[in-house]
Chain A
């Protein structure tokens, strides 16, 4: 699945907007919508069973946080996110570096990657469950598949855009094998790798939530699904709030980190 538009532009623009204060109009717009919602629900224009008032949702959210329910589900989801991300990225970066320098391997692997990459990850859940049993390992592996490929693709691209002259110079000065990898390839392609990691984290979150909805008893996705099945609409909105916050953190938080780590990097907004 192609996730990257021009990856940084969007998030960078958003961050700039946030730093500028976002403009009074933005704030007004949100306040207006929430007030409208609240008013319409109180007046009975919209069905409170479907659209509970913002204040009611807020109160329920606070109650759930106090009871610790939401915190528990959040920590389960975060745990899965962490492991899936780890399982996807470490081998992904390694394989990407190898494919970046080894053309034959790249051309052999490319059609396989091209074929598997766009398959929505959730579909690997059955396969993972068959291989790993129906449990935590299968969920983590499912959420890791597409992210792994995404990291491979980005890392390979990062190595390939390295200046040929730079590589040759490094080899002439005796950087071969392991040293070539750690001293030249890895730092040189770091900005690209980072883009891959950031997109992969967002993608992993999506799949973790989806997998939880279809095949787990705990976690924020499972909480949403259960709230739907028992028609606890307010709980559902509360869960959505947490997931939205998680999505925001993953998307914009990492972009802020990247700006710190590789501030010199520009011109990567090319589509991958």
Chain B
């Protein structure tokens, strides 16, 4: 490997990670200032950060962020409660699985954003339609992961639980649920991430508020600093939802170490 690699080894890990981000930001700044990138389209990093700060304090960006987060929260709750229930039923009972499987099989791979027009017709143009569209994405993910987790509980564990006298609900609560928890939490986490994706697409397409709408509007008005500022906020939320929740999950399930293959 080259001298570059050797130099990199000398830096501690966090520093190398930060170095990548800082280098990208500086490169962007330089290219925009030198005019190699058209600054009307690619405003320098410093300008984007200033706009980000101003719009957050001024309230506009904060309001759109709140709108998105509010919808995301409702969508997630709307998906998680029935999703967990149905997933658990399908995992425990063959009858439920056989009856509901065809719908899960058919609808799980359907890009949920395609259901937006239908929901707009049914619920009218407004938050209910946006929220339901976003929640459907999470719903199927949660059902599928929960069912999977419950079905794949080690039969030995169940056997042992039975031998120690656990029956019925006790067996489920004390044995099956804890064993299935990692898979269930993974489903919830993936579901949340997926509903953000759908929600942003929905906002971009039709909403009059929210970060997706803000990106669309800034684009139409060629207010590129605002557009990039909104993208930064979405990226930040995304990181929190993916890596942050992964960390929470690992901490909750400390008895069950997961291997993180990437980081």
Contact = CB atoms under 8 A, between A and B. Distances in A.
A122 B239 contact: no
Given A5-B145, A117-B238, A112 B20 contact: yes
A17 interface: yes
Interface string A2-25: 111110011001100110001101
B114 A243 contact: yes
Contact of B114 (A3, A18, A110, A224): A224
Contacts, number: 222
Interface string A44-81: 00000010000000000000000000000000000000
Interface in A213-255: 213-214, 220-221, 224-225, 227-228, 231, 233, 236-237, 239-240, 243-244, 247-248, 250-252
B248 interface: no
A263 interface: no
Contacts of A112: 20-21, 24
Main SS at interface, chain A: helix
Among A3, A112, A114, A202, the one with the most B-chain Cβ atoms within 10 Å of its Cβ is A114
A214 B106 contact: no
A174 interface: no
A240 B114 contact: yes
A109 interface: yes
Interface of B: 1, 4-5, 8-9, 13, 16-21, 23-24, 41, 95, 98-103, 105-111, 113-118, 120-122, 141, 144-145, 148, 152, 183, 186-187, 189-190, 193-194, 196-198, 200-201, 204-205, 212, 215-216, 218-219, 224, 227, 230-231, 234-239, 241-243, 258-259, 261-263
14 contacts: A5-B145, A5-B183, A104-B4, A107-B8, A115-B235, A115-B236, A118-B241, A123-B231, A123-B234, A131-B41, A213-B114, A213-B116, A243-B111, A271-B186
